[in-house]
Amino acid sequence: LGIPVIDRTAIILDIFAAGPQLYVLRSGRHTAPFESVLEILACVEACRENPFDTVTPALMDELGSISTVICVFLDWDASREELARAAVEAGCNVKIVVVRDGPTTEPLDGAQAWADSVSQLAPEDVRQGRFDVL
């Protein structure tokens, strides 16, 4: 059995992380090392206010050069759906992961009709690493 290896030098990774502020991170050939990106992401705090007025326009400017968007949300509502649908409409593959105990503000099941993948994980399962695939 072979163990798959990710060639981290060949992957270009754009990350838009919204905590109290918007972070745009790039990792890949001639950019920040992948481990540095992970360290920065670990420091992003949860945002208690709706960041999508900032995030959506920034993402819209980049969608033409992005092939896959993985959305990790703490809830699901109209503003999050708008952002994810914009990525789909721009031709991106979209994977939605909601990290939340209990039901989302708006039903998540409708996104399964247009997103490539939709899942919900409990925060404790994420903290403990109790999932195999996102």
* pTM attached to this predicted model: 0.76
Give the span between the Cα atoms of 82 and 14, in whole angstroms: 20
In tens, the pLDDT along 16-68 reads: 666 656 666 666 655 556 666 667 667 777 777 787 877 788 778 878 888 88
- Neighbour-count burial for 14-46, b at 16+ CB within 10 Å, e otherwise: bebbbeeeeeebebbeeeeeeeebeeeeeeeee
In tens, the pLDDT along 75-94 reads: 999 999 999 999 999 999 99
Identify whether the C-beta of residue 58 lies closer than 8 Å to the C-beta of residue 22.
Answer: yes
Residue type, 17: A
Angle at 115 between CA 113 and CA 119, to 5 degrees: 95
What are the respective helix, strand and coil percentages of the chain, to the nearest 5? 35, 25, 40
